[in-house]
Amino acid sequence: MLYSMNAMSRPKQLIVGVDLGGTKISAILADDGGNIVARDLRDTQAQQGPEAVIRRIVESIKQVASGADIAGIGIGAAGTCEASTGIVASSPNLPGWRNVPLKDIIQQELGLPTYLDNDANVAVLGEYYFGAGGGIDNLIYVTVSTGIGGGLIIDGKLYRGISGSAGEIGHMTIDVNGPRCDCGNIGCWETLASGTALAREAVRRIEAEAQTSILSFAQGDIKEVSAKAVFLAAQEGDRLANDLISRTGYYVGVGLVNLVNIFNPELILIGGGLSQMGEMLLDPALRVVEERAFELPARAVRIEIARLGADAGVLGAVALFLQEKSKER
Ligand SMILES: [Zn+2]
């Protein structure tokens, strides 16, 4: 692979990658081959507001760096980011964050070149540099968890669009008469195919007195019914749980059909919490793609579970640094 060949011919750089989420701040020190040297994980405590959170990010970076000679810092943040300016414009998971110039603050605080982008863009870069997408120039990363997000590599470059907001695939309309989405629109992909949608449908069926063991995987409390509880029940052979996951996979597939037809990608990687369901989710999705997508792009595409798992964010942040730095050379 291109990157490791380059890395062999010169000394390795060390880079700090930060994943800023609504509940956790995760930081790593890694070399430019994606080998992780040190880790730090701490609570975001987002309710304390930007200043306190930024202080914890700085502490976390100092902790993993611990005196090493660092080339720079990459940050992926859960929110709408303007990569060109390094500003976090807003975030549903980080209360009080409005137009926070996070890149400049970190750069000044630590005196190191710093780059920022949203978590989904960063994750696709992680898979492109260090994961299953290595060297694949037309690559889409889809994260399916409480919502659905995505990142697009087109012709070997991260596609950001004119305002840097490209890749909001979770909010393509799938059902114009569907459920109301948190974004305000109706029938977005994530209202039908996310973990939240799966749990909501499970609750609806339990309340309609369907035969199922799902509740026993949620401490018997209907408020605790989650995608994970449905998955655990399905693994034990619960019929309804299996049907519900198939239905979610079906809707995942409907969105994938659109992506396949629009982008003609070589590889689509499915990450996020629901990707742990593996074939249970993927098989019904692949069936829909086979049935509905145009034949030419459907034949060309591979659709697989992403490889970096929980490290997609931090390794992606390292990849973001490498990509942005290489543009400046
Ligand atoms: Zn939406």
* 255 C-alpha to ligand 1 centroid (Å): 13
| pLDDT 10s digits, 259-308 | 999 999 999 999 999 999 999 999 999 999 999 999 999 999 999 999 89
The stretch 56-84 carries a mean pLDDT of 95
pLDDT score of 1: 45
* 161 C-alpha to ligand 1 centroid (Å): 18
Contact criterion met (CB below 8 Å) for 85 and 50: no
Rounded Cα distance between 327 and 117, Å, is 15
For residue 72, what pLDDT band results from cuts at 50, 70 and 90?
A: very high
Q: What is the mean pLDDT of the chain?
A: 94
* 202 C-alpha to ligand 1 centroid (Å): 21
| Domain residue spans of the chain | 2-127+311-328, 136-307
* 173 C-alpha to ligand 1 centroid (Å): 8
CA atoms within 13 A on the CB side of 229: 23
Q: Among all chains, which residue has been given the structure tokens 């549903």?
A: 92
Contact criterion met (CB below 8 Å) for 132 and 177: no
Domains 2-127+311-328 and 136-307 share a fold: yes
The stretch 56-79 carries a mean pLDDT of 96
Rounded Cα distance between 41 and 151, Å, is 24
pLDDT score of 12: 85
pLDDT score of 234: 98
* 150 C-alpha to ligand 1 centroid (Å): 13
* 77 C-alpha to ligand 1 centroid (Å): 19
Rounded Cα distance between 108 and 113, Å, is 9
CATH 1.20.120.430 fits 136-307, yes or no: no
* 229 C-alpha to ligand 1 centroid (Å): 24
Rounded Cα distance between 251 and 255, Å, is 7
Q: How many residues does the chain have?
A: 329
Nearest to 304 by CA among 137, 129, 132, 127: 132
* 186 C-alpha to ligand 1 centroid (Å): 7
CA angle (187, 288, 316) in 5-degree steps: 75
Rounded Cα distance between 326 and 305, Å, is 28
Q: By three-state DSSP, how is residue 271 classified?
A: strand
* 191 C-alpha to ligand 1 centroid (Å): 7
Amino acid at 38: A
Rounded Cα distance between 199 and 226, Å, is 5
Distances (CA, A) of 72 to 122, 268, 293, 322: 16, 29, 42, 9
* 257 C-alpha to ligand 1 centroid (Å): 18
* 181 C-alpha to ligand 1 centroid (Å): 5
* 198 C-alpha to ligand 1 centroid (Å): 16
* 172 C-alpha to ligand 1 centroid (Å): 7
Q: Give me the residues paired with residue 269 across strands.
A: 141, 304
pLDDT score of 152: 97
* 105 C-alpha to ligand 1 centroid (Å): 31
Q: What percent of the chain has pLDDT over 90?
A: 88
Contact criterion met (CB below 8 Å) for 265 and 230: no
Q: Which CATH class is domain 2-127+311-328?
A: alpha beta
Rounded Cα distance between 167 and 175, Å, is 19
pLDDT score of 9: 57
Backbone angles phi, psi at 172, to 5 degrees: -75, 140
| pLDDT 10s digits, 16-57 | 999 999 999 999 999 999 999 999 999 999 999 999 999 999
Q: List residues, by chain if needed, whose CB lies under 5 Å from ion ligand 1.
A: 171, 181, 183, 185, 188
* 170 C-alpha to ligand 1 centroid (Å): 7
pTM above 0.95, yes or no: no
* 29 C-alpha to ligand 1 centroid (Å): 35
* pLDDT greater at residue 55 or residue 146: 55
| pLDDT 10s digits, 155-183 | 999 999 998 889 999 999 999 999 999 88
Q: What percent of the chain has pLDDT over 70?
A: 96
* 267 C-alpha to ligand 1 centroid (Å): 24
Backbone angles phi, psi at 73, to 5 degrees: -130, 140
Rounded Cα distance between 79 and 298, Å, is 32
The stretch 187-216 carries a mean pLDDT of 97
Whether residue 7 has pLDDT greater than 50? no
